[in-house]
Structure formats: structure tokens, C-alpha cells
Amino acid sequence: MDRARFMGRMAASLSHDLCNVLAVIQQASGLMGDYLALARKNQRLSLGVLPKFKYDAKFQEIISQVQTQVDRGQDLCESLSRLAHSSDDAQSPTDLAFAAWLMARLSGRMAKKNKVAITVEPGDGRALADVAMVDALAALEAALLAAAWRCREQGELRLRGGLEGDEAYVDILNPALNAGEAGSLAGELAACRGPFQARAVEGGVRLGFPRAGREG
């Protein structure tokens, strides 16, 4: 039994159902807004005969908050759907820039807990790695968890992909990751025994994966 594919199918199904729930909430809040607008119009046309709804402003504020959270929920559903399909093409090369972008989106709660921001910087070239997407995501998640704890309240964790020789990599950078901290973090990640090499670089740590399409 392929556990990764099973979890992917279940997550994709949940994402689809959650999107349907959010669509109903969005339509209902939009309809409430339409009724409020109609009530305001009728009140104006009545030349004061019809009373003004005293909670109009408050209801508009609530509708705006609902719409904001629906938009946030839809973004989360999109990220969940992309994560769910990460196990579909286990034999295809993984675009590490995309993996870093997706992991940054999925790590919002962890980042908020550690009071850091996670940003993705453009790299040099398209960093394609000979590793399954789900394995790349798992490696990035482990690295971000460990780095965020070390860089708590220290600004941004910057992710940057690139290519060097036979290696495709993602650097995780933050000023708090001095030589000692970066070396300690690299050692901790190396103990995970994943499909990558972890080593300290200036200002952070590098996760190196086999480069896709390399010879030999």
C-alpha cells in the first residue's frame, strides 16, 4: 500500500469539500451585503419614511471580515490541494523553487508561532532536483522547524534555490544563523538521513539534493 498516495487522495478530497463549504459561505455573505444595499436604497427613496437599519455599518464590517477569511481559506485550500498532489509524480524531477514557495505557504502557523516571516527569493536558474516532491517538502519542513526555533523573533527566514555542480539546493538564511548556529543546524538535519546533504553556508544552512539530469 502506498501511504503517501493514500494521504494525498484523502487531502485532495478534503480540500475539494472545504472549497465547496467556503463557496457557500461566500455566496451567503454576498447575499447579505446585497440585502443591506437594497435596504439602504429603499430607505433613501422613502425620504425618511422607512427607518434606517441601525446596525448597517456593523453588519458591513462583519461581511467584510467574513470575505477576508473566505479568501484566506481558499488560499489554504489551494495549498492543501498542491500538497495533496505532491505524491502524484514520484518519478518526475522536483522544482525546488516551487517546493520552497509551497512550503512557505504551508508554514504560516509555524512562522506565526515563532514570530518570524518566511520569504522566497528568486534563485539562479531553475533548480530541478532528482527527488520526489513529497520528500523535498518533508526535508524543507524539517529544516524550517529547526531554523525557526533558532531564529525566533529574528525577522525573516529567506529561502533561495539554486544550482551548483551536480547539486540543486535550497538555502535557508537568517542573520541569527551565525557560523556556530548554522553548523549546529546542519548537523541536526544531517541526522535526519533524508535524500539531501545539509551543510552550513554563510548566513544559514544549505539543503543539497542530487541535480536532475546529471550524468553519471
What is the pLDDT at residue 188? 92
- Residues in Cβ contact with 195 at an 8 Å cutoff, skipping those fewer than 6 apart: 131, 135, 139, 209, 210
Q: What angle do CA 120, 179, 133 make, to 5 degrees?
A: 35
The pLDDT assigned to 216 comes to: 44
Mark out the alpha helices in 85-132 (DSSP H runs): 96-106, 108-114
User: What residues in the chain have per-residue pLDDT under 70?
Assistant: 1-4, 89-91, 124-125, 214-216
pLDDT of residue 48: 77
Closest Cα partner for 183 from 171, 198, 200? 200
Cell of 211: 541535480
The pLDDT of residue 214 is: 60
The count of C-alpha atoms lying within 13 angstroms of the C-alpha of 108, restricted to the half-sphere facing its C-beta, is 9
Task: Output the CA–CA distances (angstroms, integers) from residue 8 to 5, 88, 189, in the order listed.
Answer: 5, 8, 25
- Residue 91 pLDDT: 64
The pLDDT value given to residue 153: 84
Residue 119: the pLDDT is 94
